[in-house]
Chains A and B, each alone.
Chain A
Amino acid sequence: MTLLPVRGLAIALPILVAAALLPLGVSGYILGLLTIAYYFAVFAMAWDLLFGFAGEVNFGPTFLIGLGAYGAGILNSRYELPIPWCLAAGTALAVVGGLALAVPALKVRGPYFGLITLVAVLLLQNMIVVFADVTGGEIGLTVPDVITIDTNTNYWLALGFMAVSGVILTVISRSPAGLILQAAGQDPVVAGALGFNVAKHKIAAFAVSAAFSGLAGGLVVFYMGTASVGTLIDTAVGVQVIIAAVLGGRRTIVGGALGAVFLIAAGELLRPLGALSTFVVSAVALVVILFVPTGLLGLASLRRAQ
């Protein structure tokens, strides 16, 4: 098995080139939307590593995103550390927090892992509100530094980050270690009997997922200049990440990117509907999940498989 699917690259490369050329002909407003969509895509791809490969439903992607975002944001706003340091620290915090959650949570079987991750989000959300003097509480956190104010640079940065993340996650998922991870996710008993430490592989996957989620969360903060519970941690945001990944296709990694761009584009196109737009997007997502449970990309790869 090659680590990068040749066919997939042949399709993805032209799309990426076209996306990179967008700033030449598209308004700054649309570029801003896509910038957010690309970071969102990384959330969704990181989530698919857990759901699609490790076989664990993480209902709290925003716990990891929030740790990365607030970790980076607080260091910058209180101690005025340079942005790269803040991002590194935020990512590390997301990994540590993710491990602190995953190590005990993966010991319990059945649906409890998902419930624990959900509770973790609520805990984080409350902590941020309670320690408002550090975190900005419900008003949100404002960071003094941003990466750049240039729309195009921000856009290219997000696009590049998404592409690199997608490649790394795809390579991991298609590597021998990724194969073991899939086996552990599908049949932990058999995987154990084949000599694989199931917990170790799942925890590693959680750490990788946490690193990408946390780093992307931090980048969003330094793109927008603010962090708030409503935009980064709320369970509704987590649900959006999950919908994006499932919509795009389970076990495909890049499906998450497609789903994220689709969700944000659809939300924007339907904006004239007002409050109804969220409803329509959710309904479309529901229809896809019900009738094409393998997602859009999953459908394509299933066709090939047969």
Chain B
Amino acid sequence: MTVAVRPGSQSPASSAAVPAAAEPCLTVRGLTKRYGGLVAVKGVDLDLRPGEILGLIGPNGSGKSTVMKLVMGLEKPSAGSIRLDGTEIAGWPSHRVARAGIGLVFQHARPLMRQTVLENISLALLPDSLLRLAADPAVGERAKAIAERVGLGAVIDRRPGTLPFADLRRLELARAIARDPRVVLVDEPFAGLTGPEVAAFSELIRGFRDEGKAVLLVDHNVKSVAALVDRVFALYLGERIAEGSAEAVMADPTVRRVYLGGSIETAARPEASFKSEPLLSVAGVDVLYGKAQALRGVSIHVHEGEFVSVVGLNGAGKTTLFNAISGLVPHAGTIRFDGRDLAGQKAAAIARAGIVQVPETRELFGDLSVRENLDLGGQHLTRAEADRQRDWLYDLFPILKDRERQTARTLSGGEQQMLTIARALMMRPRLLILDEPTLGLAPVILELLSKALERMRATTPITVLLGEQNVTFALPHADRVYVLEQARIVWEGPPDRFAGEMGSKYL
């Protein structure tokens, strides 16, 4: 695919926040990375100046994470140059890159669980020496100061296993600060954080800039980092599609086309058109996690052939509801499927009865090929049936056919999601439960997924229960919508009434 690059987009002069005089400290030219036949990064040119925050954005599979890994030395580039203050560092192992002055704040890192927070920070302050057997007291002092700076001062003697998620991210940030790098790469700075936490993290990242460090934020979309960045570099399919201020990039036609789907059109079938006896009926279900009530008197029903969406924010209880239906969590109340009470049935028996859940954590077999993953889903089918089912799925998700022999690990996030759904469909479920299939996916992938779901709905009598927080994805296919809010169902109705009755409140 060819992508138009706006003339002049290469010049970063459009950003007022960048001091014009500053020489770039990180210069990337013609950076390319191939994985077998897949070109993940194609000739990327990128400059990063001291005291600047650059947002590297792109949908899933766009190559943004690969660029970050190439700069850090976690992957070796196939071609191109990466210069740090004039020194060529492309292809260096990561420990040399780190010592040259580049640091990476990982999104998910495993701290040392048997060491305290302070010791975890101290680790990053140690020289790479084999002979350092006695602890340097100055290291402890600096580690304490850093802990205070990132807001971990009160928990320095705790072990990471006892900390909430945001504090683990702080710990990652602390380790990056400890290395005192000149260039800081931050992978999805705000993933999984609440509003106030986002504000605190933004402040810490601005702190990097104020110290004259160059900061590269890697994220899915412009919006999440717009308030923080001086400049944005948008990547799609491994190539630059736009560069400039956040506003300019958001206004860029190519970016808009890549990111924004059409307006919401709904195509609901009236509830009366389905059989009156529901396939699944959930009545008055309560679920308790310890003292916390995860579901409170939830009642929903799904007819055979119907597409029902349950929308709700993170933590509303969607996954809990689905797990209760699949028999994975104990619950009060009744759940009936196909006229039978599921009470006391084991998860495996419920799955055999035809309820197949696609969890939000994709759980593919990473080392097996696409084809093998599908065949595992079709284990119980005869060969002919499995072939037919697989052909149908390849028709539904053509990209999977192209990737048939690739291992699942090498797929992009969107492709993995499609494979997960396809594998579930190989089991020929009577009721397919999709839990947040859009999690972490960029809109362009959503559109592909959305089209596949639309065709699935149109061509097969499958019954689908979809859980989503992305309303634009949940509504177009739905025949009926439930809104789950703080463990309760607060609204039920056809999707065309959603915008009027719930939209303003929910969006």
Contacts and interface: CB of A to CB of B under 8 A. Distances in A.
B99 interface: yes
B175 interface: yes
B112 A1 contact: no
B103 A176 contact: no
B132 A192 contact: no
Interface in B102-142: 103-104, 106, 109-110, 112, 114-115, 119, 122-124, 126, 128-136, 139
Interface string B128-159: 11111111100100000000000000000001
Contacts of B133: 3, 171-172, 175-177
Nearest to A204: B130
A301 B93 CA distance: 35
B179 interface: yes
A301 B159 CA distance: 13
Contacts of B98: 192-196
A194 B130 contact: no
Contacts of B129: 176-177
Given A180-B128, A192-B95, A196-B128, 7 more contacts: A175-B132, A175-B134, A175-B135, A179-B112, A182-B112, A196-B98, A305-B114
Contacts of A3: 133-135
Contacts of A232: none
> Which residue, of B95, B124, B135, B136, has the highest number of chain A Cβ atoms within 10 A?
B95
Interface string A184-224: 00110111111111101100100000000000000000000
A121 interface: no
A200 B128 contact: yes
Interface residues of B, number: 36
B114 A190 contact: no
28 contacts: A1-B135, A175-B132, A175-B133, A175-B134, A175-B135, A176-B126, A176-B132, A176-B133, A176-B134, A176-B136, A177-B130, A177-B132, A180-B123, A180-B126, A183-B112, A183-B123, A190-B106, A190-B110, A192-B94, A192-B98, A193-B72, A193-B74, A193-B98, A194-B95, A194-B179, A197-B128, A200-B130, A305-B114
A187 B109 contact: yes
A194 B132 contact: no
B135 A176 contact: yes
Nearest to B136: A176
Contacts of B123: 179-180, 183, 194
A178 to B, nearest CB: 8
Contacts of A172: 133
B386 to A, nearest CB: 31
A64 to B, nearest CB: 19
Residue in B115, B119, B133 whose Cβ sees the most chain A Cβ within 10 Å: B133
A288 B134 CA distance: 35
Contact of B110 (A177, A187, A195): A187
